[in-house]
Every structure is written in C-alpha cells, then in structure tokens.
Amino acid sequence: MPRKLERPAAPYRQIAEEIRARILEGDLQPGDVVPSVRAVSREYGVAMATAHRALSLLQAEGYARPERGIGSVVTTDEERGWSASARLEKSQRTGKVYPSGQHARIVAAALDEAPDQVAKALGVEPGSEVIRRLRITYRGDRVVSRSTSWFPAAVSESAPLLLTTERIPEGTFAYVAHALGRQLGSWQDQYDPAVADADEAATLDVAEGTPIFRGQNWIYDDNGDVLEYGESIAAARISYRGNISD
C-alpha cells in the first residue's frame, strides 16, 4: 500500500525531505544507491514526474549525484554543502560550514531596504532597513550557487561581522545565534525548479533558459523565531518523464 504524505507541502518536497533525513541519520551512507524513480513512485504512490522532481532536488542540494549505470548515489561530505540544510548540519557537526573542496566568497554585505518577501520572512515592515549578505559558493573554480542571507538591521549591533565581507567560518546562523545568546532550533529549505534568466545564467555560467533551482531557507531558534532568511539559485539537471498529474 502506498505511504501517506502530509499536506500542504508539495509531495516531491516531502519525499526529498524523508530521503535527506535518511542520509543525515546515516541510514544511507556515501556511495549507497538512492531509491530509483520507479521505486520512489511505487513506495509513495506518486507519478513518475513527481519522483523525478524529488530526486532532482536531492541532486541539486548536493545529497545525491547521478552514477552511470546505477542511478543516483549518496554523496560524500566533500561533494555536498551549498544548501542551507547541508551548511547547518555541517556547522553543528564540525564547526565549519563548507566541506573540503568548496569555499564561498562574500561579494556584498550592507544595509538595504527589505523587499516584500524578505520583510514577511523576517517579520518587519516592507522597505525597512535590513542586512543583506550576498555570497557565491564554488567547488574548485566552478560556481555552485549564489545565495543571499537577510537579517533585521538591529542584529548588526551584536553581530557586526554581518556588515563586512569577512568569511564567518561557523556560518552566519551559528554566529548570529551565539551573538544574540540564542540556540539554533530548526531549519526549512524550499526549492522550486525554474529556468535561468540572464542574470542567473551569467552568475552560474550556464546558458539562459538552463534548468535551475530557486531556493528559500529559514533558520529558526529554539523558540521558533527566524534567525536568518535566505534566497539562493543553483544549477540543476532535471529530466521529467511519465504522467504529470500531481
């Protein structure tokens, strides 16, 4: 009998979250084969296209990679690291954000006016002053992602490094939590398939119209208050087949 999925989160996100949890908990180890599209479709009772989207999301986040003749396999620490969930897990386990072979460059750090979606996420008025911190993440010389972290402006009084382009080894969320005397509680990542516009294509060094993922992430303290809101883009290969019915 197919397993039940909760609403309202999109089914492919719920499936990806369950498989991601199995990876982080060690049930699936680096090199292990990730359930196939057909297996996911059968286990969760969803269309093949939905199963494709779930596995594509795991690949985009860096938790799985395609392996010729096998399907998808779980990546090592060195292969993953750009998504908020991966950075948070890495920070809590090792005190560092990025795995070996990856690094980030902070290209902007300044006060800015809050766009509507940022204001809503942070619980401030649209147009009010917020901190915007923009980074590019690389694997070697190749761009992996572009991400922007947003914080209420008042946070800079306790966490002044947010307004500099200096790297924060433990990650901005851990730095802010420590500076404010709060505990990290939980996270939420949301990624949606899209096609790259001209600006995104130039950043990721791909052709305009290339499939990408646009992401949003929230880092919460143990009281459920938002410590950091983020937005990101990352290149992804997406291949859909089957009946697109859900």
One domain for residues 37 and 114: no
The last residue of one of the domains, among 48, 75, 102, is 75
pLDDT of residue 177: 92
For residue 110, is it within any domain?
yes
Prediction pTM value:
0.67
- Please report, rounded to a whole number, the percentage of residues in the chain having pLDDT higher than 70: 83
The pLDDT, as a whole number, for residue 90 is 61
Q: Identify which of 35, 40, 52 has the alpha carbon closest to the alpha carbon of residue 3.
A: 40
The H-assigned helical ranges of 2-157 are 11-24, 37-44, 48-61, 84-94, 116-122
DSSP annotation of 33: B
Name the percent of the chain lying above pLDDT 90. Answer: 46
pLDDT at 122 > cutoff 70: yes
19 Cβ partners below 8 Å, 6+ apart? 28, 34, 35, 54, 58, 63, 64
Whether 103 is covered by a domain: the verdict is yes
Confidence band (pLDDT; 50, 70, 90) for 239? very low
Q: Can you tell me which residue has the tokens 């991966």?
A: 86
Q: What is the mean pLDDT of residues 111-138?
A: 95
Does the CA dihedral 60-206-88-123 come out positive or negative?
Answer: negative
Residue range(s) defining the domain that contains residue 90: 79-235
pLDDT digits (tens, 9 = 90+) for 140-199: 888 888 999 999 999 999 999 999 999 888 889 889 999 999 998 888 888 788 899 999
Q: How far apart are CA 66 and CA 98, in angstroms?
A: 21
Whether residue 131 is predicted with pLDDT greater than 80 in this model: the reply is yes
